[in-house]
Structure 1
Amino acid sequence: MASTTDTKNYKFNHSMIRVKDPKASIKFYEHLGMSLLKKLPFPDAKFDLYFLGYDAPQSVSHGKEIWDREGLVELTHNYGSEADPNYKVNNGNRDPDRGFGHTCISVDNLQAACQRIEDAGYKFQKKLSDGRMKQIAFVLDPDEYWVEVIGQKSVEETEGVTTTDPATYRMNHTMIRVKDAEKSLKFYQEVMGMSLYRTNENEKAGFNLYFLGYPGEKGVPQGYQADREGILELTWNYGTEKDEKFSYYDGNSKDSEGRQGFGHICISVDNIEAACKRFEESGVTWKKKLTDGRMKNIAFVLDPDGYWIEVVQNERFSGKPNF
């Protein structure tokens, strides 16, 4: 393994959320076309991790090692939560504890895909027919996390199509809200090494959307990005940066009702020691350095809003498993 690091090799590997009942959650995400790729049990600490992603032959990361992928969802299950009638997560979208917004899948035929989800009995936060934006829907997972559903083709092109193939779906992006767009954009580009793909300005509604990612071999996408995975969406509501008391909920501290929810996003790197040294030289705030605690193969950086960013070794560069 090389002793240096190059952000061109980095990948937005996964997004972690806590779940009440892993069986129900896995069933839901498998209905969205994902496969359970890996389970990491930690019985001594009384929790298990489940990694799901798209793995059909035509998928972006088909056949690759876990840490050499983008667009994974990590489910964290703390033992006993499934039997606790009072256990609930914070989905990131309820005041006053907003922060994380949603994950997003892109599908082949939007109307047919949404109908298939509805036919399976899953609830929607927003159907295609709701509101003015007829090209997006939001389905609720078993813990009421929002999953945005967008089309890989225009809604006009798929109007009337009744078939859909989950093997063609993508885990397109993860959205988090940020207080100061300028600070967050600088952090994710200059420190984390991402590229800004697209900006969506919504002046009348008072917010902007910024889409970032690691271009990799495909390069920075031009125009529509629904065929890609591993994208980070930052949502900035105008004026929040001017309020000294304002902050978003990071998902890991206890919220106003004692709940947790979203845990972190994760990037995989070519050389974790060199990457962490680079982050250190960039002046990052650490939640956990490599040398902290028992797990010496992962680190956590804090972004400007206090969201956790896990850093792991891409096994393709090290030639040995992480766990």
Structure 2
Amino acid sequence: MASTIRPSLSSFRFSGGVSSTPYGVSLSPFNLTRRLIFSHLGSNYGVDKYDIGTGFGHFGIAVEDVAKTVELIKAKGGKVTREPGAVKGGKTVIAFIEDPDGYKFELLERGPTPEPLCQVMLRVGDLDRSINFYEKAFGMELLRTRDNPEYKYTIAMMGYGPEDKSAVLELTYNYGVTDYDKGNGYAQIAIGTDDVYKTAEAVKLFGGKITREPGPLPGINTKITACLDPDGWKTIGPNHEAEDPRVKVLKKEWFEGKDCLDIGCNSGVITIQIAKKFNCKSILGLDIDSGLIEDAFWYLRKFKKTESAGKKQAKDTSVKAVQEGNSSEQSTTALSNEGPNESLSHHSSGERDLSDIVTFRRENFVQSHRPHEKCYDTILCLSVSKWIHLNWGDDGLITSFSKIWKLLHPGGIFILEPQPWESYEKNRKVSETASNNYRSIMFRPEHFQDILLDKIGFRKVEDITSGLSGTRAGFDRPIFAFYK
């Protein structure tokens, strides 16, 4: 018997890419690091039709050319419900299509993106209530709202990153409509978290209903929780690895109370994770790409906002516990003896605002003559040496190594993650400059240790790669710590 498809949208976070998981597709956050993913299509044996209902809206798919995509869909016999054209009052080109099971998809014209399955639209009965729930319970950010009085609806875009780079949740409120038929065709979204127990507590605290208590799935180690939002839309929260695996091999003494520099910081996520985990005195992230620096500041604001929400949640939970404890004489006595707010006040007394520790700056480290205001105790260069090498050749690489040595205090640490030569081969055609430099490179990655020790002047090197064994693909390159 034929079976039909039932969408299940799921979520996990690291920087870039749609994850394919047993749970579905994912949107991506922090403190509890989370990510929203959309991608799982489920099929139940013997079921040939589902009721989509009136509450589920559509999926969004980013494509580079909407018109060409629509022509291809038509050629395959697909149904187009809105021809390509700019959105009213805007420039983004969109189109709408419908698959054989009746699910609607919005095609959005964008440049290349790591998350082409980029949004899901759900209708809600109280927009402010929904925004508050996803902000407080899941740490999402309200990216924007748009009201359309002509068609009597308002939308709110929620997510963990800019719309053009991250998957987002589109909440739609139709004037005067407070309830929808949800049918049985839509299953869930998933928001990955690094602590399912704290997530479940947050959901309960801010108006959601837990439908599966947090805990491990039978037979495997993955922990999971599930809940309903105030409108009854289901979310699952599987555990996922939130921390960049490279952070696990770094030593606390290299960063705690130290001034640090991260060269080629990309979107700044690992820079912020290092600052938070190791309590740096300061850390400056540099990148040549102004767009990535904008992303880094966005993520910094996001980390701060989620951290503040986490502190408020902890305070609210503590107050609730005190109030409940006061209902019995025994609890009251215990609390008065121990001091109910001692742990909270102790925890916050020595904390510093992340923006006082972390900052970012656009800079071409190789060619910049801008003087640094200070020397550093630790300098990182993670997965950057290849790009320096391909863009500025051997001279640019040696210049960078020399500048790093001069910027380090005596006894300072230089942490290098060089890409292998095979990676150079794969990227040699990204530009004419890269292609020319690739052909003339004499110093390959296997020579870097000798250059840094014998030519630049570092006194010793430590291979810290072993701690990365078993981590995910793409983060199993060697990492070295050079001591000045």
Common fold: TM-score over 0.5: yes
User: Which residue of structure 2 lines up, in the alignment, with residue 299 of structure 1?
Assistant: 225
Q: Secondary structure at the match of 2:84?
A: coil
Amino acid at match of 2:79: K
Shift of the 282–292 alpha-carbon distance from structure 1 to 2, 3 Å rule, reads farther
The structure 2 residue matched to 1:104, chosen from 60, 83, 102, is 60
Paired residues in the alignment total 229
Note the residue ranges of structure 2 that are not aligned, 5 or more in a row. Answer: 8-16, 246-469, 472-484
Q: What's the counterpart of residue 56 of structure 1? A: none
Deviation at 1:185, TM superposition (A): 1.1
| Identical counterparts, % of pairs | 27
Rounded Cα–Cα distance in structure 2 between residues aligned with 1:267 and 1:309: 7
| C-alpha distance after superposition, 1:74-127 (max 9, x if no partner) | 11111233xxxxx31223xxxxx3001110111111211211222222222322
Normalised TM-score (structure 1): 0.60
1:189 maps to 2:121: no
Write the distance in 2 (CA, Å) between the matches of 1:270 and 1:191: 14
The alpha carbon displacement at 1:239 in A equals 1.7
* Counterpart position of 2:50: 89
Summarize the alignment of residues 269-280 of structure 1 with structure 2, pairs less than 5 Å apart: 269-280=193-204
In 2, the alpha carbon distance for the partners of 1:288 and 1:113 equals 40
Relative distance call for 1:195 and 1:316 in structure 2 (3 A) is closer
Is contact 1:209–1:236 with CA below 8 Å preserved after alignment?
yes
Distance 1:35 1:297, change over 3 A: closer
| 1:142 matched residue in structure 2 | 100
Alignment check: 8 A CA contact 1:173 1:231 kept: yes
- One-letter amino acid of the structure 2 residue matched with residue 179 of structure 1: G
Write the letter of the residue equivalent to 1:90. Answer: D
Structure 1 counterpart of 2:209: 285
> Which has the larger strand fraction?
1
The 8 Å contact of residues 127 and 138 in structure 1, kept in 2 or not, is answered as yes
The equivalences for 1:309-320 within 5 A come to 309-317=235-243
CA RMSD in angstroms, aligned pairs only: 3.9
Determine the C-alpha separation between the residues in 1 that align with 2:106 and 2:233. 21
The answer for the alignment partner of 1:72 in structure 2 is 38
1:102 maps to amino acid: H
* Stretches of structure 1 lacking an aligned partner (at least 5 in a row): 1-18, 26-33, 41-48, 54-59, 62-66, 82-86, 92-96, 154-164, 216-220, 242-246, 252-259
Partners of 1:277 and 1:35 in 2: CA distance: 27
Matches of 2:139 and 2:131, distance apart in 1: 10
Aligned residue identity for 2:74: E
Matched with 1:20 is: 3
Distance (Å, rounded) in 2 between the aligned partners of 1:132 and 1:78: 39
What are the equivalent positions in structure 2 for 1:146-161 lying under 5 Å apart?
146-152=104-110
Q: Which residue of 2 aligns with 1:230?
A: 167
- The structure that has the greater radius of gyration is 2
Give CA deviations for 1:168-197 in whole Å, capped at 9, x if unaligned: 771111000001111111111122211011
Determine the C-alpha separation between the residues in 2 that align with 1:132 and 1:213: 23
TM-score normalised per structure 2: 0.41
Distance change >3 Å, CA 232–CA 52, structure 1 → 2 = closer
**In structure 2, the residue corresponding to 1:249 is in which secondary structure?**
coil
Larger RCO of the pair (alpha carbons < 8 Å, separation 6+): 1
SS at match of 1:315: coil
Q: Which residue identity lines up with residue 149 of structure 1 in the other structure?
A: L
The answer on whether the counterparts of 1:108 and 1:169 sit within 8 Å (CA) in structure 2 is no
The structure where helix makes up a greater share of residues is: 2
Spell out, residue by residue over 1:179-237, the C-alpha distance to the aligned partner (whole angstroms, 9 max, x if none): 1111111111122211011111101211111101013xxxxx3xxx3x22320001101
User: Aligned partners of 2:187 and 2:134: how far apart in 1?
Assistant: 18
Residues 138-157 of structure 1 show CA distances to partners (whole Å, capped at 9, x for unaligned) of: 1122311001111117xxxx
SS in structure 2 opposite 1:299?
strand
